[in-house]
Amino acid sequence: MFINAFIRRSINICALSCLVATAATAQEPGGQVIGSFGEQPLELAISPDLSAATIIGSYADAFLSGVQTADDQETAFVSLMLSGELPDPAELSLEIAFAQDMGANWRGDGESLALELAEFSATDGIVSLSGTITGEVSGGPDSETRPVTLSFDALLEQVN
């Protein structure tokens, strides 16, 4: 009887530990950006160290950066900034850079891009941010314009 109670207690402690660990890792900053830039597919991991958000009432600022790697080398970098009253922030900027074309960045803003926010909320110091950006960015080595579609799903550290 003692062994049976001991085993049940051990199983309960193990199950509780797993639940606590899952809850803790579920709110870690990070996420990903998936989409396309012209004909090129992009899949980037959001860098928690270079991303953060602030929410004051219905006003929000958010900045997220994503890095695509291949063969342990960074190949693409995307940064997205949005700012303004939720649910439709007035300011939006997107920058895309590629490691092989240093200095040939691609940029877009609220005039050439459309933002559709699916979520922008804060809980326990973590901001959940998800949505889609569609439109065009300009730049590159030949100062041309290319279509871009990016979907993002991020957990960002909330800062004051």
| pLDDT digit string, tens, across residues 2-27 | 444 444 444 444 444 444 444 444 57
Q: What is the pLDDT of residue 26?
A: 55
The rounded distance, in Å, linking the Cα atoms of 91 and 83 is 5
Quick one: what percent of the chain has pLDDT higher than 90? Answer: 66
Tokens 């990016």 belong to which residue? 150
Dihedral, CA of residue 95, residue 143, residue 115 and residue 92, to nearest 10: 50
- Rounded Cα distance, 21 and 63, in Å: 28
Burial of 44 (0-12, 13-18, 19+ CB in 10 A): buried
The whole-number pLDDT of residue 25 equals: 45
Q: The tokens of 46 are what? A: 């959001």
80, 94 Cβ separation under 8 angstroms: yes
Under the banding of pLDDT at 50, 70 and 90, the label for residue 126 is very high
pLDDT score of 10: 45
pLDDT at 71: 77
- For 8, the enclosing helix (H) or strand (E) is helix 2-26
Residue range 144-151: mean pLDDT, rounded: 96
pLDDT band at 118 (very low <50, low <70, confident <90, very high): very high
Specify the pTM.
0.77
Please list, in sequence order, all residues whose beta carbon lies within 8 angstroms of the beta carbon of residue 29, skipping any fewer than 6 positions away: 46, 48, 51, 126, 154, 155, 156, 157
Q: Quick one: pLDDT at residue 54? A: 94
**pLDDT single digits (tens) 58-115:** 999 999 999 988 777 778 999 999 999 988 899 999 999 988 777 779 999 999 999 9
User: How far is the C-alpha of 120 from the C-alpha of 90, rounded, in Å?
Assistant: 15
